[in-house]
Amino acid sequence: MDNPHPFDLHFEGNFFVNANGLSNLSTTITDFSLPNLTENIPMGYKTILLCKRVLLLQRRNAIKTWGEPSHKTKQSYCAISNQTYSHFNAQWQQEVQTYQLYKPNYGDLSLDASTWKNFNSCHQYAQAHSIKFDQLVLIATIVDVIHWH
């Protein structure tokens, strides 16, 4: 049986990959070793985020937490919606459909535009998105960033 998606409330594993789509969850980070990634994700111009779930929001409420967010000085976070939404990409001058949340006032779809260095800032923006679009939003710690070229 395959492990569930990152929005699952009951599975005990918290690790997943975010790379132009989401992997299933895993209980161990070693499932996302370089040989496993090579076998499952075609090389191309993309960035792979190895993530660990922290918090699932529904509007104003945290409906599930997985531990406390890390307060390491160099820790980064990302936020992902359970449904696509329209995001205006100023660099391309068009709307794009995405699951990834992007910071306001960023004109591109870069890694910097979709990651936060501060959990509280990420949480605040994720909560506002969840309320505006009536979607679930998952906040995750970024364990590793792999440039996949």
- CB < 8 Å & 24+ apart, contacts of 104-111: 111/47, 111/145
Instruction: Determine the average pLDDT of the residues in 79-97.
Output: 85
Instruction: Determine the average pLDDT of the residues in 26-54.
Output: 90
Q: Provide the domain limits for residue 134.
A: 15-148
Residue 117 lies in a domain: yes
Which residues partner with 136 through β-bridges?
58
Instruction: Determine the average pLDDT of the residues in 116-145.
Output: 94
Q: What is the pLDDT of residue 73?
A: 66
Model confidence at 96: pLDDT above 90: no
Q: If DSSP codes are grouped into helix, strand and coil, which group holds residue 57?
A: strand
pLDDT band at residue 1 using 50, 70 and 90 as cut-offs: very low
Distance CA 44, CA 27 (A): 27
Residue 111 lies in a domain: yes
Residue 105 CB contacts under 8 Å (≥ 6 apart), including other chains: none
Residue 40 lies in a domain: yes
Model confidence at 22: pLDDT above 70: yes
0.95 exceeded by the pTM? no
Instruction: Determine the average pLDDT of the residues in 76-84.
Output: 94
Residue 60 lies in a domain: yes
Residue 1 lies in a domain: no
Distance CA 16, CA 5 (A): 8
> What is the count of structural domains for the chain?
1
Distance CA 51, CA 111 (A): 14
Residue 93 lies in a domain: yes
Q: DSSP assignment of 36-50, as one string?
A: HHHHHS--SSEEEEE
pLDDT band at residue 105 using 50, 70 and 90 as cut-offs: confident
